[in-house]
Structure 1
Amino acid sequence: MVALIVAALIWIGLHVGIAGTRARAAWAARLGEGGFRATFSVASALTITLLVLAWRSAPTSPLWAVPRPLGWVLVVAMLLAFILFAGSLLARNPTAVGQGSALSAEPRGMLRITRHPMLWSFAIWAAVHIIGNGDAASLVFFGAFLLTAALGMPSLDAKVAARDPAGWAAFSASTSVLPFGALTAGRNRVAWREMALPVLVGLLAWAAMLHLHPRIFGVSPLPY
Structure 2
Amino acid sequence: MLALILGLVIFLGIHSTKMLAPAWRQQQISRIGLLPWKGLYSLVALLGLVLIVWGYGQARMAPVWLWESPTWTRHLAALLTIPAFILLVATYIPGSHIKARVGHPMLLAVKFWAIAHLLANGTLADLLLFGGFLVWAVVLYIASRRDDRASGYVPPAGKVTRDILVVIVGLVFWVIFAMWLHLWLIGRMPFAMG
Smaller-chain TM-score bracket: 0.7 to 0.9
> Structure 1 segments of 4 or more deviating over 6 A?
none
Q: Root-mean-square deviation (CA), in Å?
A: 2.5
Cα offsets for 1:156-202 (capped at 9, x unmatched)? 3455556xx34x2xx27x9xxxxxxxxxxxxx9x9543311111111
How has the CA–CA distance of structure 1 residues 12 and 215 changed in structure 2, closer, same or farther, with 3 Å as cutoff?
closer
| Aligned pairs for 1:7-156 within 5 A | 7-16=7-16, 18-20=17-19, 21-22=21-22, 23-58=24-59, 59-91=62-94, 108-156=96-144
Q: What is the distance in 2 between the residues matched to 1:38 and 1:156?
A: 23
Question: Percent identity, aligned pairs only?
Answer: 26
Structure 1 unaligned segments of length 5 or more: list them. 93-107, 175-187
Q: What is the CA-CA distance between 1:124 and the residue it aligns to?
A: 1.4
Q: How does 1:128-207 map to 2 (within 5 A)?
A: 128-160=116-148, 165-166=151-152, 168=153, 171=154, 192-207=160-175
Contact 2:65 2:124 in 1 (8 A): yes
Partners of 1:77 and 1:143 in 2: CA distance: 16
Q: Cα deviation per residue 1:39-90 (whole Å; 9 max; x = unaligned)?
A: 1111111111112111111242122222244332221111111111111111
**Contact 1:84–1:120, Cα closer than 8 Å, also in 2:** yes
Mapped to 1, the partners of 2:73 and 2:121 lie a distance apart of 12
Amino acid corresponding to residue 3 of structure 2 in structure 1: A
Q: Is the 8 A contact 1:64 1:134 kept in 2?
A: yes
Residue segments in structure 2 that go unaligned for 5+ positions in a row: none
- Number of corresponding residues: 188
Aligned partner letter, 1:210: A
Distance 1:25 1:160 in 2: 18
Distance 2:39 2:88 in 1: 23
Secondary structure of the corresponding residue to residue 177 of structure 2 = helix
Read off the aligned partner of 2:42 and give its amino acid letter.
S
Q: Secondary structure at the match of 2:67?
A: coil
1:88 touches 1:110 (CA, 8 Å); kept in 2?
Answer: no
Separation in structure 1 between the aligned mates of residue 131 and residue 55 of structure 2, nearest angstrom: 14
TM-score normalised by L of structure 1: 0.73
Superposition TM-score, scaled by structure 2 size = 0.83
